[in-house]
Amino acid sequence: MDISVVIPLFNEDESLGELTSWISKVMLDNNFTYEVIMIDDGSNDNSWEVIENLITTNNNYKGIKFKRNYGKSAALNVGFEAAKGNVVITMDADLQDSPEEIPGLFKMIVEEKYDIVSGWKRKRYDPIMKTIPSKFFNWTTRRMSGIKLNDFNCGLKAYKREVVKSIEVYGEMHRYIPVIAKWAGFSKIGEKIVTHRERKYGVTKFGLDRFIKGYLDLISITFISKFGKRPMHFFGLIGTLMFFVGFFAASWLGFEKLYSVYHGVRAPLVTSSPYFYIAIASMIIGVQLFLAGFIAELIGRSSSTRNSYLIEKKIID
């Protein structure tokens, strides 16, 4: 099968008929073998009924329904597990992503050998309260990840099959799939300028809170990608530094007190200095961080995924 189109959706019953007709036309015009997997993320409108009707009339369409709203990442993860195509394309169900971009994305994966191609909505029709935070978010993600994409948030992306079968998406991580893929070893990540269309039906499902959650997930994924399999390198290093800073500070206060006593100079109690308590606190926190790293290392070494490596090629004999 050439293409799997994965479409997460929430309350998009008005747009599904038009979207799927458009996708079918594009696939037919380009002679693609395909499947369309629609994941209903707990909709409370008629989205699932529309999906059921589509499935009965076209065997290229498949549906998955969540009991409740779990979020876009969970929907994408389930869609990736079900996908069978050599190229997996994700898009939103609100008609703001154009199916006409599918052949171009497919070509970049198959002929130009990209692992991931991310859409870039250079001209957007979103309100300014959405575009300005998005620009800042993309700038921060570029700086922290080293991936030169202009639009991490774009739902229109294409992946090699191996990519989606090698990663797990959860939380609010869907916007960081290129970062997760790069961490897994898929480094050829490209970008394609795509058309952004005004929303025709319904209202946007995203608020400003997604940027706060997004930044928290960015910190999480940055930490996991660097220290997920060697937590002692992070906690142990910081803990050791803090312990020795506290130890040398306490030693200096003690030496200063002994020096004063030896020379008969009246000196205040060591415990009357605020630096004494700062030094003790630093030593305690340092020990705690070191132990946290040690325990995390023990847990990591007993994990079933401690040696989960992606092997691209193997020649044994």
pLDDT in tens, 222-263: 676 666 667 787 888 899 999 999 999 989 888 888 888 777
Strands 61-65, 87-90: pairing is unpaired
The whole-angstrom separation of Cα 195 and Cα 99 is 10
Alpha carbon distances (Å) from 242 to 178, 288, 293: 35, 10, 14
Please count the CA atoms within 13 angstroms of the CA of 95 that sit on its side-chain side.
18
Residues 6 or more apart in contact with residue 314 via CB below 8 angstroms: none
Contact yes or no for 167/177 (Cβ under 8 A): yes
Which of 48, 60, 41, 53 has its CA nearest to residue 1? 60
The segments of the chain whose pLDDT lies below 70 read 125-131, 202-218, 220-222, 224-229, 300-317
Two structure tokens written together for 213: 């959650």
Predicted local confidence at residue 231, as pLDDT: 78
pLDDT score recorded for residue 18 = 93
pTM of the predicted structure, to 2 decimals: 0.72
